[in-house]
Amino acid sequence: MSLSMYQASVPVFRHQLGAISKILSKAEAQAEARKWDPTVLIQARLYPDMFPLSRQIQIAADAAKGAVARLAGVDTPAYADTEVTFAELRERCSRTIDFLDGFSADQIDGSEEREIILSLRGASVAFKGQQYLLGFALPNFYFHLTTAYDILRHCGIELGKRDFLGAN
C-alpha cells in the first residue's frame, strides 16, 4: 500500500504540533518552578540573526496550515503574529490543529501534481504538490520545530528526544 498525500501531511503536522505544545507546557512549568521569567525563554534565540522561540512556533504553525491549504487548493488563513506567552503559543498550535482537522483525505489525496507557487524572497518558485510537501513544506516545518526545541534545551529546559517525538 502506498502512502497518500493526506497521510504524509495532516497526521504528521497534527502530531508534531501536539508534541511542541506539550514541550511548551513543560518549559512553562520548569520556568515557573525555577522562578525564571517566561518572557526570557519566549524571546530566546540560538544566535542573534535567528528568530526567537515565539517566531519559530509561529512559522511552524504557518508551515503546517499553509501546506495543507495549498495541497487542498484553498486559501490559507492568516494569523496575526502576536503571541507573547506560552499559553498563546499553545493556542496557536491548537488553532492550527483545528484547521487541519477540517480537511478530509479526499481534499488532499491526488494533489501530487497540483501546481504550488510560492513567493520566496520576492521570487516566484513553482512546485508540484508532492515535491512541495516532501522537499519544502515538511523540511521547513521540522526545521522550525527543531530550532524551537533546541532553543529551550540551550536555555536549560529538561527535554529529551521522546518529548520531540511526542512520546511523552
Q: What is the CATH number of the domain that holds 65?
A: 1.20.120.450
Does 84 fall in a domain?
yes
Q: Is residue 59 part of a domain?
A: yes
**Domain assignment of residue 87, yes or no:** yes
- Within a domain: residue 36? yes
Q: How many independent structural domains does the chain possess?
A: 1
Measured CA to CA, the distance from residue 71 to residue 69 in angstroms comes to 5
What does the radius of gyration of the chain's CA atoms come to, in whole angstroms? Answer: 16
Q: How far apart are CA 89 and CA 18, in angstroms?
A: 12
Q: What is the predicted pLDDT for the residue at 2?
A: 85
Residue segments in the chain with a per-residue pLDDT below the cut of 50:
none
Assigned domain for 5 exists: no
What is residue 168's predicted lDDT score, i.e. its pLDDT? 64
**pTM of this structure:** 0.95
- Residue 1 resides in a domain: no
> Looking at residue 1, what is its pLDDT?
58
